[in-house]
Structure 1
Amino acid sequence: WKGEEVRPYVEWLVENVNEHPLINVHLDSEVRDVSGTAANFISTLVDAQGEKTEIRHGVTIIASGGENLRPKEYLYGEDPDIFVSLDFDREVVQNPERLLSLKSAVFIQCVGSREPDRPYCSKVCCTHSIHSALILKELNPSMDIYILYRDIRTYGEREDIYREARTKGVRFIRYELNDKPRVEKTDGKLRVTVKDQAIGMSVQIDTDIITLASAIVARNNSEILSRTFKVAMNQDGFFMEAHAKLRPVDFASAGIFVCGLAHGAKSIDESISQAKATVSRACTILAHKERMVGGRVAVVDPDLCIACLTCVRICYYEIPFVNEDGVAQIDADRCHGCGVCVAECPCQAITFASLTTEQVVAKIDACFA
């Protein structure tokens, strides 16, 4: 957090991407089919007109972003003076004159996050709300502003704007999850009732607007992307890396990486850092002229296979499939060599190319000789 303006950076980034001779941008398009493996992917894109485009590429980076939750509480959607944070930002840009006339404003934190359904913190809400409160203070220093929070998480250099908000008179009121604020409209005015944990009493606040710091959630197309690219998702709908410490931006499938809000709620600077890490990992593949495939891969004997689909069901990487001849097939360049299908095949139709059943039995006999 350095306090920089985001819009100029995004505009500069978009301009550079659109003008770069080696970058092709496909708008209003979706990935319908993917085949191949690291260094040799083939993806089919379909645009809004239904036109298909086939692309060959060496790596895949999933950075599909996230979405702002539209809550079903606090009268959101029922009153035009109740916003979510992004709506408030839009109001600041499009209708600042209206904000000048306000006498009071309330921000409610952790709307839809840090709850049983979504136990994670969205990480940006506290900073966003405090920054918005300071904008209102600049427009009207005498405005009464309240931030209702469960825990303030303005970590790192973000602590500076928290202190600034305190200095400028922004009031912070802590509430508990089991005793949320109540919003009602009485005589045409919004009223918020909240139990202040500091004094142990309920406080009623009459306000002109309410801004809800709603959770960051996974995009609604994440499940489709998960099936298309055969990558894992966590219980919250975000994409899940292969290992949080050893492979933090890799998927289990080689050549596919993740970054940004697609991976989970995080701030812009954290998304940029993760994107740089993803590029670094992608370059380990793209920097080579050719890619060697390991010799220990599963091979199917078509004369023994009865297409029972055991290998298709148990493969974690979803690589085996039944071909046109009605027997299982495993692409050598995609096989991870884990050996699960070799062990589970009831007909012993699958073996390792470099390690046959006879060799394994001979090794076992030698161990006990």
Structure 2
Amino acid sequence: MTAGTTAGPTNWAGNVAFRAPEVRRPATLDELRRLVAGSPRVRALGSGHSFNDVADTPGELVSLDRMPYTLEIHTGADGAARARVGAGMTYARLAAELHARGLAVAAMASLPHISVAGSVATGTHGSGDANRSLSAAVSGLELVTADGELVSLERGDDDFPGAVVALGALGVVTTLTLDLVPAFELRQYVREDLPRDAPFDEVMAGGYSVSQFTDWSSTRVWLKRLTELPDGDWLGTRAADGPRHPVPGMPPDSCTGQLGVPGPWHERLPHFRADAPPSNAGDELQSEFAMPRERAAEALAALYAAGDRVRPALRISEVRTVAADDLWLSPFHGRDSVAVHFTWIKDWDAVLPALRLVEETLAPFDPRPHWGKLFTRWPEPSERFGALVRAYDPEGKFGNDFLRRVLGE
């Protein structure tokens, strides 16, 4: 069988044109293994939602969206439910099918349209004081390595913490096993005009998942709660009088249900509905940086001070909290974090100076970038991750310019 192809690939936003002339779409595991083994350069492409060249290659660009459907629910030795899922599955499809079985994942990103493997590989996250990244839910994975072999890793294996958020450097991930929780309901509220002096910890403790949306002048809060929010004052804010889009002035039709109406977890945790075009439908650029949670007040104050210079290139910023994990390249490795996201206008010449200003402003707070978004300052290379890459891919089959910057080589 010959893999299907698609010409002229770009990422979701259209700001990255991949050097590969086409996207290869193997339909079976054996076909994928032959393709990887026989190609001098290979990279896996998820849903294309990264805003940089993390997936780029001049060789074979591989999508798994035609691989056989995989969703297997099982109970581990510890009594916890887990799901083995195909790497190309989107969170939208996974969530709906888990919910039908009375199950859930504990966290989701803003968009449910993104693929499971791509989200995990880049350290993508949701929000919530007790919620870890999507990557931290992974308890096992299978990947095709450079020689076409299928390798399985589980939580507890020596290589596992380096192989989850691995940026595609070790091979093409084919399945992941995810920790599950019982399905639950949430209510989503939008509160307007958060006072600048509102206590950060109290704001972020206001729900199961909490996001602050700000232009560094005025701020709204998205509260996703397990219980009803009592009427009246909440930290000096007022209730929105109708549904809101995170970007002021945009129609809220694509957003998940608000106004405190209860709904299934997967129809409230993301900001955007699975059955509608996501966000600004690609008309944007994005950056994001994670800082230690205890530095949140200082970091946010510094950004507010720079707000007038950032705002001309900004659509909106989002402030979230993420619990620590133990994954080597995770932006949240070893520390509870505050993550500050920037949705920029789609004009790189205008965005670049604003982005550099943000990076300079946040430099005292030890920022770590989201691997799938735009940044110009690179973290110090991880020696142990570099050793892991050399062990799995000694010839650099999965390497690209992005990884050479990450590894300092």
Question: TM-score w.r.t. structure 2 length?
Answer: 0.19
Would you tell me which structure has more helix in proportion to its own residues? 1
**Bigger Rg over Cα:** 1
